[in-house]
Structure 1
Amino acid sequence: MSTDTRPTTARRTLRIALASTAAVSALLLTAGCSAIQDIVPNKTPQKHFDAYSDAPRSGESEDLAFFMPKWVPEDAKDIDVRLHVSQPGYVIGFASKDGVDVDDCTPLDESYGGTAMTADFLPEELPTKGLVTCGDGRAVTEIDGRWYGWTTKDAIPGQDDTQTMHGTEH
């Protein structure tokens, strides 16, 4: 009697699948987190700009998500921006000698739920009073000589919600 010891098609397919899975796992382990981040997009990217002139402005860049709000002064430097790509969330921090022209802004009577997202460059404690909004739905204030702006958890009435993604389907 002869016994056929050749693997069946199903067994060959299973072996190939297992070998491929092992190879991909080994690649991810040796490549580290950077390979995983390339596969799973970052929903809360963060960027740094040394100066206002280095940052994109609305309408003139392919990277419009990181554009400078109109209220950011042109002398701004050491600019950090973090945003959420699919829901309300934008945080900015920068240094400026001129500062934000708060005369063009409206005082806020409350904090509207605080910041919609966090960022490592934000102070641990954000004020709930003395905030202004400058027409784009973000709370703005100066803390220890540095300016910060953030999208609030709750929409600020009468503001341009297209900048903050409040009121859009996520």
Structure 2
Amino acid sequence: MNRRPLVVAAATVGVLATAAFALPNLPPNPLSDAIDGHVYKEKGKRFATVAEAPTRGDRAFVLPSWIPEDATDIRIRVHTTDQARLIRFDLGATPLDGPRCPAGTPRRMDGPELGARWWPGHLRAEVRPECRDRYQYQVAVRGKRVYAWTDGTPSPGARP
């Protein structure tokens, strides 16, 4: 009996299983970015400061106007087939408040549809009123770290 096809099949299954577990946990690189974009329909970026983030061009990574100018360590994860987004950043001296993040009870929005290693679970209890720009965001603040997400619901009066 020829065992060569069985050995090749077993090796192929082993390589594919290893890749399935290892690739999602690798730091961002061209291979994991390509898999995220084509398979999961997601892409992400990281900016050290607000100044490094784009202000035009690919709107997916343009920051909402309610993020303070002195925010740092900004991470964004977007869904490429709709407007769902995750944003995480650290506050500087400027607090997160003002007319774009009003006080009140946030409207009911499901949890984020996206996932990222830097995104914590179970934020619902910490959600504060929504912040508005082009889209409505749910926001949770843990110390100086801010987590915001949107399902792409437009803000009242916003232009699409």
TM-superposed CA distance for 1:79, in Å, is 0.3
Runs of 5+ in structure 2 lacking a partner? 1-15, 24-30
Residue 116 of structure 2 corresponds to which residue in structure 1? 119
Residue 99 of structure 1 corresponds to which residue in structure 2? 95
CA contact (8 A) 1:137 1:161 kept: no
Residue 56 of structure 1 corresponds to which residue in structure 2? 54
Find the partner of 1:65 among 42, 56, 60.
60
Secondary structure, counterpart of 2:115 in structure 1: coil
Aligned residue identity for 2:64: P
For these two proteins, the number of residue pairs brought into alignment is 129
RMSD of aligned Cα (Å) = 3.3
Give the 3 Å change call, closer, same or farther, for CA 35–138 of structure 1 in structure 2.
Answer: closer
Give the 3 Å change call, closer, same or farther, for CA 138–44 of structure 1 in structure 2.
Answer: same
Structure 2 Cα separation of the partners of residues 125 and 35 of structure 1? 26
Aligned residue identity for 2:131: C
CA contact (8 A) 1:110 1:129 kept: no
**TM-score, normalization by structure 1:** 0.61
Runs of 5+ in structure 1 lacking a partner? 1-28, 163-170
Which structure's CA Rg is the greater one?
A: 1
Greater share of residues in strand: 2
Residue 10 of structure 2 corresponds to which residue in structure 1? none
CA displacement 1:40-81 (0-9 Å, x = unmatched) = 376210110011100012xx3x33210010100000110000
Secondary structure, counterpart of 1:81 in structure 2: strand
CA contact (8 A) 2:112 2:149 kept: yes
CA displacement 1:135-155 (0-9 Å, x = unmatched) = 2211112113201110148x4
Find the partner of 2:77 among 82, 89, 98.
82
CA contact (8 A) 1:48 1:81 kept: yes
CA displacement 1:72-123 (0-9 Å, x = unmatched) = 0000110000000112410100001213224532333444222232222111
Residue 146 of structure 2 corresponds to which residue in structure 1? 147
CA contact (8 A) 2:71 2:89 kept: yes
